[in-house]
A and B are shown apart, each in its own frame.
Chain A
Amino acid sequence: MRSTAERGRLELRPGLWLDARRAVYLETEATIAVADPHLGYAWAQRHAGNLLPLADDRELEMNLAELLEDYAPRQVVVLGDFVHRAIALDGIRDQICRFIDTVEMRSRLVLLNGNHDRGLHEVLRQCARNVATAREMVCGEYTLLHGHEDVTCDRTVLMGHEHPVIALPDGTGGRVKCPCFLIGARTIVLPAHSPWAAGSDIRKRDFLSAVARRETFVRAIAVLGRKLLPVTLIDPA
C-alpha cells in the first residue's frame, strides 16, 4: 500500500486514494468523488431566519480547483446532497453555477441524488446548466451512491449522507471533532465536503442509513487539517 498520509493522501486499496481535501480519487477511472457539499447552506439558513455568515464558499471552491489541478480527472462525481436546500435564491444559484463551471471547465460533472436535492432540477434549469444526474453509478469495482435509500449490491459501496466525524483528544485535555472517512469491508463512507457539516461521533454508531447500520466499520481515517490520520476502530484480532 502506497501511503503519503503525511502529505494528505493515502492509497487505501490499489487505485483507491483518500485525499485530505475530503475527496476520493479512483485512479483507473480517473474519477474524483466528493460527498455532501450542501451548497448554499448559509443562504438556506438565512432564508430560515438564522443570520449565518456567508464567508464559507471560498474554501470549497479553492479545494475543488486544487483537486482538479492535482488529479486532472476525467469526471467529478458528487455523491448526493449537492445543495442544502434547492431554493430559488440568487446566492444559491450563484454558488451552484460557480461549482459547475469550475468543474466543467476541465472535466465533467455527475450529480447523484441525495435526500437534500429535491427540486434541484428546477434550480439547475434556472441556472441554465445542463448536468448529468443519476441515482447511482458504477465506477470500476465500486458503486457510488448517496446512501439515504437502502440498496444491496455486490460491489463495494462509496457513499456519503452520514457526515462522519470522530472525536480525538486534542492534547490539552479537550477533544476535537474531525471529519473522517469510514472504512468497512463492503462500504466506504466519505466525509462531508461542506465546511458546515457536523455530525455525531461515529463511535456512537447512530447511523442514519440502513447501509451504514449493517456494516462493521473497522477503520476511520480522520481528516486533521490537511493531514490524514488512520484510527483503528476494531482490532483485526
Chain B
Amino acid sequence: MLHSPLLKAVPEKHDVFAWFRARYGRPTPAQKAAWPIIRERRSVLIASPTGTGKTFAAFMGVLDHLEHLHRHGQLLETIYCIYVSPLRALAYDLEKNLAEPLREIFGGKPPIRVGLRSGDTTSSERVKQFNRPPHILLTTPESLCLLLSQKRWLPHLENVRWVIVDEIHAMAENKRGAHLSLSLGRLERLRPEDPVNRRPIQRIGLSATVAPLDEVGKFLTGTNGECALVDVSTGKKIELKVHTPLRKRPYPEAGYTGQRLIRELAETVRRHRTTLVFTNTRSGAEATTFWLREVAPDLADAIECHHASLERDVRQEVEDRLKRGELRAVICSTSLELGIDIGSVDVVVMLSTPKGVSRALQRAGRSGHNIHSVSRGILMATNVNDLVEACATVLLGRRHELDPVRLPTAPLDVLAQHIVSMGCAGTWRRDEALALVRSAYPFAQLTRKDFDDVLDYLAGGGQALRTAYTEVFGKIELNDETFRTRPGRVQQDFLQNVGVIPSVGVVRVRMRHKHLGSVEESFINRLKPGDVFIMGGRACRLERVSNMEAIVLPANGELPTGPRWNANKMPLSTNLAEEIVRFRGEVRAWIEAGHPAEETWVTETAKRVATRLDCGVANARIVLEMFLGQARVSEIPRGGELLIEQFDDAGDFIVPKTPGGRQRHYFFHSVIGRSANEALARVVTLRLSRLRGGNAVATTNDYGFVLTVAPHQHIGAEDLAPLLSPDSFIADFHASLVNSEMLKHHFRNAAQIGLMVYRNYFGKQKPTRKLQWSAEVIYNVLREHEPDHVLLREARRDCLQVFLDAEKALHFLNTGLHQPKKIRPVDRVPPLSFALYATKIKEALLVEDPAETMERLFNQWWNEIDSGTRAA
C-alpha cells in the first residue's frame, strides 16, 4: 500500500505555517488575531500600521488552503483569490513578495500561480491569463470591473473564495471605493447557486489607521455580510513631535521663515540616514526639492522628488533607489503615503500640517518599516497657526483619536458606469439589479427613483423620447422589466472608459528625448516661452508647447519665474478643529485670570502652554505671544460664541486704490475647516447680496473666513441672525452654487464617470481642450433645460459632501443658533485674522513683493501693539 503508484502521485505535504515559523518565527499581533478568523471563513477587517505583517495575516490562510487543495489533487485552473489594491505599484510589490514564499515552500515551479492584471498588462498576457487563469489574481478596482464586464470571463470568476482589499482606507472615502463596492457585490452574485456548499466570498480588508472601524467593515462586506474586526493599530510605536523654524514674533504666513525652514530641513536630512518628506501639494514637493538641493549641494544627487505627475519610470527609479537605501531624502506630495515597500526610512517630516490625525499617523508609520522599530514623525510648523495645529495633531495622535472617514452616499455617476458594465455581461431584471446595488454599503440607501432615473438616462432619455425615435443612442436597452447594454460598439467603447479617476487636462513635459512627467494644461497655459518652472526638482525653461507636449530645456542655476501649480488643499479634520477651539478657550481663560503685563507671569504661562501642548518652551512662548497680541487688539475667540472682527482697511498700499475709499473686512472666527467655511461663506455672501445688493467677496481658510464689503453693505449686530440662520441654508447653498466654477468642475467629472462624455475614444485620449469646453457647454445647456438631470444631481452631491462641507457648516449654525455672536471693531488686523487678511490682500497687491509687504505690515502692527501696552 505504501508503495502504491496512486499514492505516489499525490503531492507531498508542504506546511505553509511551518515555513512561516521557520522563516519569521512568531507571528505578529495582527497575524495572530487574523489567522483563526480567516480559518473560520469569516470576513475580517484588519487595521494595523504598515510593517506589521498585514500581507501575511491575510495570505497565509489562503496559501494554506490552496496547498491543501493541491495536495488532494483538487486545485482547479480557476481564480480562487482576488487581491485588489488602489495602486498598481502595490500589486507589483506583492507579486514579488508572494513569489518568494511560494518558491521556498514548493521549490522550483510552484503549483499555485499568481497573476497580475492592471492597465499595463499587455494583450498577449491577457490572452494567456484567460486561457490559464492564475489561482491568485492581483489587480486594481478598474481592472476588476473590466473583467466583470466581459461575459467570457465570468466563468473564471465563479469560484472566487477570497477577496483581499488592500489599503481599504484609501478607497472607502471616495468614488473609487463606491465603484469597488459594487464590483464586490457582483462577484458575490456570480457564485453558483448551491444550497449546500454556498458560502459567501470571504472578504479580507487591510487598512492602516482608520476610524470608525465598523463603518469600514460594512463597506467591505456590504449590507448582507458580517465583518469581524481586528484592530492592532495601536500596536506599533509611533513617535510624533513638532518642530518649528519660527523664532520670536513670527509673521503668520511663510516669508523669510521659508529659507530657515529649508536650512533646518537640510540639517534633519544630514542627521538621518533616509528622510521622507511630505508636502501636501505637488508644487510644494517640487519647490522643496529644488531649494533643498540648493542649500545642500553635496547631497543634491541623493535628494529626489516623487509625486503622481512624474513619469512612471521616473517614479519607479526613485522608489527603487529609496528601497536600495541610496537616497538621503525623498520629497513627495502624498504619493508615498500608501503602503508600497519603501525600505528603511528613519524619519518622516511633514512640512505644513497633515490636517488630520489619521493622516499624520499614516505618514509617520512610513518610517521604521518593521514591527519592532519605532516610527518617527516630525511635524514642521511654518507659522503660528500651524504650530498650534501641529501640537494638537500630536496630542490627539498620542491618544489615538482618529478622524472619522466619510463614505460617499450613492454616487449616481458610479452607478451609471456599473449598470453599463453589468449590462455588458447579460440581461438583468431591474429589481434584481437594484437589490444587488443596494447590497453594496455606499448604495444601501439608494432610492428607487434615483435608480430608475439613472436607467432612463442611460437608455437615452425618458420613455416618451424612446418611443418617439427609433434610435436614441442610449447605452442600454431598457423596458419595464429588464435592461442590457447595447451590444457592439457601445460595449467596446465602454471598456475604454471604465474607472472613476477623472482625466484632467495634462501636458507631458519633455526634455530632449526624455519625458519628465506631466503638468496640468491649465498650468502650462499660464506660462509663456522662456518661463522657468520646476519639474522633478529641476529647473526647466519652457521652449514651446505643441501637441499636448511641453518642450523644455534645462535651466541650471536659474530661479523659477512661473506661477505655482494647483494646490489641492485638504481641509482640517473635525477632531483637530475641536481641539484647537478648546485650546484657544483655555489660553483665553489663563490670560483673563492672570497678569499678562508681568514678565514672570508670561514665563510661567509659557511653561503651562508647553505642558498643555506638549511642546518646547520656546515654541510655547511664540504661541502665547500670538495669543497675547490677539487679546490686546481684539479678544481670543472661544467655543460657544462666534466672534466677528470688523476692520476698516485704508488700503494705502493697494494700487489702484479702491474706488469710494475704504473697504471693510469682517473676520468670522468659525473653526470648522476650509471646506465647511467655504460653504458657509458662500451662503453668507449670497444672503448679504440679497439684503444689501451688490456683490460681496469672501476668502476662506480652515479657521474662518473674511467677508469684504462695500460701504453700502456694512452689517450690524441685527443682521447676524438672518445672515447666519440655519433656515433654508441648504437651499441657499444650492442657489449660491448655480454659477460657480466648482459645480462646473464637478459636473465635468460626473459627465466623464457617468459616461456622458467619453474620455477615451477609439482607444485614443481625446484632446482635453475639446473635452473641457464641451463639458462646460453641456453643463450650461443642462442647467437651463434639465436641471434635475442625474449627473447634475451627482455633481451637486459631490460638491455638497466632499468639497464644500455644507452639512458641517449647517451643523455649526444649528449648534450656534442661540449662542452669542458679536461684531467687534478692531483698529488693525489681529494676529489670528492675519493669515486670512494676507490671502485676501495679496491678490490685490501690485506695488511690491506681496510677501515682503505683508511681513512689513505685520511687524509694524506688532510694534504698535507693543508700544501701546508699554504706554499703558
- Decide: A46 and B786 in contact? CB cutoff 8 A: no
With both chains docked as a complex, state the minimum distance between the C-beta of B793 and any C-beta of chain A, in angstroms: 13
With both chains docked as a complex, state the minimum distance between the C-beta of B582 and any C-beta of chain A, in angstroms: 34
* Contact pick for B756, options A48, A52, A174, CB 8 Å: A52
- Decide: A51 and B475 in contact? CB cutoff 8 A: yes
A154 within 8 A of B: no
Give complex CA distance A204, B218 in Å.
Answer: 53
Measured between beta carbons, the chain A residues less than 8 angstroms from B695 are 171-172
A176 within 8 A of B: yes
- Name B776-804 residues within 8 Å CB distance of A: 776-778, 780-782, 784-786, 789
A54 within 8 A of B: yes
Give complex CA distance A125, B599 in Å.
Answer: 95
Cross-chain pairs A/B with CB under 8 angstroms, 12 sampled: A47-B473, A49-B758, A50-B756, A51-B474, A53-B789, A59-B784, A90-B471, A91-B472, A171-B695, A173-B697, A174-B741, A195-B784
Give complex CA distance A141, B647 in Å.
Answer: 61
A168 within 8 A of B: no
Give complex CA distance A170, B461 in Å.
Answer: 33
Measured between beta carbons, the chain A residues less than 8 angstroms from B782 are 53, 55
With both chains docked as a complex, state the minimum distance between the C-beta of B529 and any C-beta of chain A, in angstroms: 16
- Decide: B461 and A196 in contact? CB cutoff 8 A: no
With both chains docked as a complex, state the minimum distance between the C-beta of B282 and any C-beta of chain A, in angstroms: 24
- Decide: A51 and B777 in contact? CB cutoff 8 A: no
A89 within 8 A of B: yes
Give complex CA distance A172, B696 in Å.
Answer: 7
With both chains docked as a complex, state the minimum distance between the C-beta of B586 and any C-beta of chain A, in angstroms: 38
B493 within 8 A of A: yes
Measured between beta carbons, the chain A residues less than 8 angstroms from B489 are 49
- Decide: A51 and B460 in contact? CB cutoff 8 A: yes
- Decide: A55 and B781 in contact? CB cutoff 8 A: yes
* Contact pick for B785, options A47, A48, A56, A198, CB 8 Å: A56
- Decide: B739 and A176 in contact? CB cutoff 8 A: yes
Measured between beta carbons, the chain B residues less than 8 angstroms from A54 are 461, 465, 472
With both chains docked as a complex, state the minimum distance between the C-beta of B362 and any C-beta of chain A, in angstroms: 35
With both chains docked as a complex, state the minimum distance between the C-beta of A33 and any C-beta of chain B, in angstroms: 23
A13 within 8 A of B: no
Measured between beta carbons, the chain B residues less than 8 angstroms from A55 are 781-782, 785-786
With both chains docked as a complex, state the minimum distance between the C-beta of B719 and any C-beta of chain A, in angstroms: 20
Majority SS at the chain A contact face: loop
B755 within 8 A of A: yes
- Decide: A198 and B493 in contact? CB cutoff 8 A: no
Q: A51-B457, A54-B465, A197-B777 given; name 20 further pairs at CB < 8 Å.
A: A46-B473, A47-B473, A49-B761, A50-B756, A50-B758, A51-B458, A51-B460, A51-B473, A51-B474, A51-B475, A53-B786, A54-B461, A54-B472, A56-B781, A91-B469, A170-B739, A172-B685, A172-B697, A173-B697, A196-B781
With both chains docked as a complex, state the minimum distance between the C-beta of B271 and any C-beta of chain A, in angstroms: 45
A58 within 8 A of B: yes
- Name A143-195 residues within 8 Å CB distance of B: 170-174, 176, 195
Query: Given the interface contacts A58-B785, A173-B697, A198-B773, does A53 sit within 8 Å of B470 by beta carbon?
Result: no
Give complex CA distance A90, B466 in Å.
Answer: 12
Measured between beta carbons, the chain B residues less than 8 angstroms from A48 are 761
Measured between beta carbons, the chain A residues less than 8 angstroms from B511 are none
Measured between beta carbons, the chain A residues less than 8 angstroms from B860 are none
Give complex CA distance A171, B685 in Å.
Answer: 12
B757 within 8 A of A: yes
Q: How large is the interface on A (under 10, 10 to 19, 20 to 34, 35 or more residues)?
A: 20 to 34
Top 5 nearest A-B pairs by Cβ distance? A55-B785, A46-B473, A198-B773, A171-B695, A198-B777
B730 within 8 A of A: no
With both chains docked as a complex, state the minimum distance between the C-beta of A91 and any C-beta of chain B, in angstroms: 6
- Decide: A196 and B777 in contact? CB cutoff 8 A: yes
Max chain A Cβ within 10 angstroms of own Cβ: one of B469, B474, B685, B761? B469
Q: Which residue of B lies closest to A173 (CB)?
A: B697
- Decide: B469 and A49 in contact? CB cutoff 8 A: no
Residues of A within 8 A of B (CB): 43, 46-56, 58-59, 89-91, 94, 170-174, 176, 195-198
Write the B202-222 contact mask toward A (1 if CB under 8 angstroms, else 0): 000000000000000000000
Give complex CA distance A94, B465 in Å.
Answer: 13
With both chains docked as a complex, state the minimum distance between the C-beta of A37 and any C-beta of chain B, in angstroms: 14
* Contact pick for A53, options B471, B474, B778, CB 8 Å: B778
Give complex CA distance A89, B695 in Å.
Answer: 47
- Decide: B739 and A49 in contact? CB cutoff 8 A: no
Give complex CA distance A49, B486 in Å.
Answer: 12
Q: Which residue of A lies closest to B461 (CB)?
A: A54
Give complex CA distance A43, B785 in Å.
Answer: 16
Write the B728-753 contact mask toward A (1 if CB under 8 angstroms, else 0): 00000000000111000000000000
Give complex CA distance A90, B469 in Å.
Answer: 7
With both chains docked as a complex, state the minimum distance between the C-beta of A137 and any C-beta of chain B, in angstroms: 30
Q: Which residue of B lies closest to A89 (CB)?
A: B471
Query: Given the interface contacts A46-B472, A176-B739, does A52 sit within 8 Å of B460 by beta carbon?
Result: no
B482 within 8 A of A: no
B490 within 8 A of A: yes
Give complex CA distance A74, B457 in Å.
Answer: 42
Measured between beta carbons, the chain A residues less than 8 angstroms from B789 are 53
Give complex CA distance A173, B844 in Å.
Answer: 12
- Name B652-686 residues within 8 Å CB distance of A: 685
With both chains docked as a complex, state the minimum distance between the C-beta of A36 and any C-beta of chain B, in angstroms: 13
B774 within 8 A of A: yes
- Name B408-460 residues within 8 Å CB distance of A: 457-458, 460
- Decide: B778 and A52 in contact? CB cutoff 8 A: yes
Give complex CA distance A36, B469 in Å.
Answer: 25
Give complex CA distance A53, B776 in Å.
Answer: 13
Measured between beta carbons, the chain B residues less than 8 angstroms from A195 are 780-781, 784
With both chains docked as a complex, state the minimum distance between the C-beta of B474 and any C-beta of chain A, in angstroms: 7
Measured between beta carbons, the chain B residues less than 8 angstroms from A49 are 473, 489-490, 493, 758, 761
Measured between beta carbons, the chain A residues less than 8 angstroms from B458 are 51
Give complex CA distance A39, B734 in Å.
Answer: 32
With both chains docked as a complex, state the minimum distance between the C-beta of B431 and any C-beta of chain A, in angstroms: 24
With both chains docked as a complex, state the minimum distance between the C-beta of A151 and any C-beta of chain B, in angstroms: 28
Q: Which residue of A lies closest to B469 (CB)?
A: A90
Q: Which residue of A lies closest to B489 (CB)?
A: A49
With both chains docked as a complex, state the minimum distance between the C-beta of B752 and any C-beta of chain A, in angstroms: 10
Measured between beta carbons, the chain A residues less than 8 angstroms from B473 are 43, 46-47, 49, 51
Give complex CA distance A90, B474 in Å.
Answer: 15
Measured between beta carbons, the chain A residues less than 8 angstroms from B741 are 174
With both chains docked as a complex, state the minimum distance between the C-beta of A214 and any C-beta of chain B, in angstroms: 25
Measured between beta carbons, the chain B residues less than 8 angstroms from A176 are 739
Measured between beta carbons, the chain A residues less than 8 angstroms from B471 are 89-91
